[in-house]
A and B are shown apart, each in its own frame.
Chain A
């Protein structure tokens, strides 16, 4: 469970959160919506410990986001940023990063091939230079990696921004099967928002 308890946060003299409270139960698919600058990414930053609230506590599965817990918390999370232009050499480096960072064993090649196939990606795309992939391909590579890490919490920033409807449908099919996994996402995509179990407007 993810819990924001009485969060207060000012940034550059502007009030971002004033007594903000929210609870996200395990397995929920929460989408955060709102205008730019409303604090959508700040929610992720608070969960990941990149920003410290002025007041209040964020809990991730009963662990407060504090220095003594932060490594344990981050190991439970798979995070995909909005900008997937991360400086890796090959698509494989990008894909494997999700496993190597938290020292998770990679699934079998057949499992990976199957899901790549489902997402209309050739398996050998992993050998390509990352710079040669389109935005949509990079996004799918990261989403696949994120899904098969089997981590309990997924934080996805605009996960469908570079996907066509066919791939959105496939992604949603997988998401619906992940009943134990909590997914928090930021989105402007009506299709994605309409399929959420909970929507928070900031």
Chain B
């Protein structure tokens, strides 16, 4: 198969032009989204452009230390984005998020690259960087949903938590209803998406692979292992994040600090 047709910068410019329609709609409905959307699109362009330069460079370099540094940076950005978007305290959430994201990323990579793909060289940039990107990108959203659901339910039903611990429940047992609620809220969209993949949605990675010249069957196989890994990573990251944060946001007597 041939590689994808190159897109000219003029064509990309035309792509931006079509955004005037949603922007006009935002204005019509007075949604106050134009500024945020413009910033988001400019950021996306700049970040992807820099990523293109960077990937071009590190793919040629294929150096273990550069790759690890890049992964650490990706994890740190994921942690700070999650904290910012969940509007939680950096002091209490940084270490739990960092621990869960790092642990699950390593575990998933070992399984994905080491066992499922069986790459000869584990730190191969071609596999390592895109996979970490997919894992972290997907996990940020579900982690934000989980933290928001957990914290808002705990805030509105804190009396239920106090009632439980006052009557002898362990902190873990008292928090179980809140954990369950957060897990369901965060994982339901992923389960729904997984069920309709290939019917309604055609995943970006698969599309990219096909456009890049791979056979559709190879693209499908990669898509399956990616989705399994994302499913695994998301679920585990949420469970670990909530369990780790619960060690930080409550005092020794089980009272919420913040």
Contacts and interface: CB of A to CB of B under 8 A. Distances in A.
Interface of A: 48-50, 52, 67, 70-71, 74-79, 81, 83, 86-87, 97-98, 100-103, 155
Interface of B: 157, 159-160, 162-170, 173-174, 252-255
Interface core residue of B168, B252, B254 (most chain A CB under 10 Å): B168
Contact of B169 (A76, A86, A87, A101): A101
Given A101-B168, A101-B173, A49 B253 contact: yes
A83 B159 contact: yes
A103 B167 CA distance: 10
B252 A67 contact: yes
A102 B157 contact: no
A83 B164 CA distance: 14
Contacts of A49: 253-255
Given A71-B170, A74-B168, A101-B173, A81 B254 contact: no
A48 B166 contact: yes
Contacts of B169: 100-102
5 contacts: A67-B253, A70-B254, A79-B166, A79-B167, A102-B169
Nearest to B255: A50
Nearest to A47: B166
Across the A-B interface, the 3 shortest Cβ-Cβ residue pairs: A102-B168, A67-B252, A101-B169
A75 B255 CA distance: 16
B224 to A, nearest CB: 39
Contacts of B174: 101
A101 B165 CA distance: 8
A40 B172 CA distance: 29
Given A49-B254, A71-B170, A74-B167, 12 more contacts: A67-B252, A67-B253, A70-B253, A74-B166, A79-B163, A86-B159, A86-B160, A87-B157, A97-B164, A101-B169, A101-B173, A102-B168
A52 B160 CA distance: 20
Given A50-B162, A86-B160, A77 B254 contact: no
Contacts, number: 55
Contacts of B173: 101
Contacts of B167: 74, 77-79, 97-98, 101-102
Nearest to B163: A86
A100 B163 CA distance: 12
A97 to B, nearest CB: 7
Contacts of B168: 71, 74-77, 101-103
A103 B164 CA distance: 12
Nearest to A79: B166
A68 to B, nearest CB: 9
B165 A74 contact: yes
Contacts of B254: 49, 70
A77 B163 CA distance: 11
A100 B170 CA distance: 11
Contacts of A50: 162, 166, 253, 255
Nearest to A103: B168
A70 to B, nearest CB: 5
A75 B174 CA distance: 13
A71 B160 CA distance: 17
A34 to B, nearest CB: 21
A86 B174 CA distance: 13
Nearest to A73: B168
Contacts of B166: 48, 50, 74, 77, 79, 155
Contacts of A67: 252-253
Nearest to A149: B167
Contacts of B159: 81, 83, 86
A81 B161 CA distance: 12
B5 to A, nearest CB: 57
Nearest to A102: B168
